[in-house]
Amino acid sequence: MQLLLLALLGLASASLIRRDWTCPALISGCTKSFLVTSGTCDSIAAANGLAPKDFYALNPSLNTPSCNNLYAGCSYCVAKGSNPSVCPTDYNAKCDKFHEVKTGDICQAIIQQNPPLSLDQLFAYNPSIHKPACDNLSPACKYCVHVRDAPKVPEPHQPNVRKDCKEYYQAVAGDYCYKISLDKGINLNDFMSWNPDVGPTCLNMLVGYWYCLRT
């Protein structure tokens, strides 16, 4: 009988806590919310294209960094279009066309929807995007996809690089002509003819310089 009484008291106590417990209010200006059924702050942020710090910024009621007061059954903000802590503002100042990111968008999808934009141009126009991972696009935010009077060849580049290419590539440490040709699916001889300054043995390729990739 004593055990039964304790169990009943425990249920009564739990129901009282449940009645007093309420979901936190969404911040003013929130444009999109996410109903939590399971997960952590980090996993919910990732599922909505947010960095953890941005998810916490959109939901100031959450304890940072423990996330020990995230409640299943509550909705949390995952987008606020005018919030500078979420949407990047470091895009090219001459940008004259933007793409609004939707949940699930990746860089390749943005490129396909905005020809003749290349991946390297997208990164160059939007320095906030993680390169090459592209793992920090924020839904409801706008990213630059076209720059007026953009130079034909990004800087820096070697003097004799072909100037009418549709796509350019910025060399990184460990690159060499054959590797780039293989990775990008282009002919090695074409690559070297478009970028003659690399030399016949590709010893003159410079890290950080831009090279013609497609014509």
Q: What is the CATH number of the domain that holds 52?
A: 3.10.350.10
**19 belongs to a structural domain:** no
Domain match, 174 and 208 both = yes
Walk along the chain (215 residues) in steps of 10 and give the mean pLDDT of each run: 38 33 81 86 86 91 93 87 62 85 88 84 88 84 83 80 84 93 93 93 93 87
**177 belongs to a structural domain:** yes
User: What does the alpha-carbon distance between residue 146 and residue 169 come to, in Å, rounded to a whole number?
Assistant: 17
**17 belongs to a structural domain:** no
Domain match, 172 and 198 both = yes
Domain match, 76 and 103 both = no
pLDDT of residue 21: 61
**89 belongs to a structural domain:** no
Nearest CA to 162 among 193, 198, 207?
193
pLDDT of residue 196: 93
Structural domain boundaries enclosing 183: 167-214
Domain match, 34 and 73 both = yes
pLDDT of residue 15: 29
pLDDT of residue 88: 82
User: What does the alpha-carbon distance between residue 5 and residue 157 come to, in Å, rounded to a whole number?
Assistant: 80
**138 belongs to a structural domain:** yes
**99 belongs to a structural domain:** yes
**69 belongs to a structural domain:** yes
**13 belongs to a structural domain:** no
User: What does the alpha-carbon distance between residue 179 and residue 93 come to, in Å, rounded to a whole number?
Assistant: 34
- Looking at the structure of the chain, the number of domains it has is 3
Q: Report which residue type is found at 182.
A: L
Q: What is the CATH number of the domain that holds 106?
A: 3.10.350
Nearest CA to 107 among 98, 119, 99, 117?
119
Is the full-model pTM beyond 0.95? no
Nearest CA to 148 among 125, 123, 132, 131?
125
User: What does the alpha-carbon distance between residue 199 and residue 207 come to, in Å, rounded to a whole number?
Assistant: 15
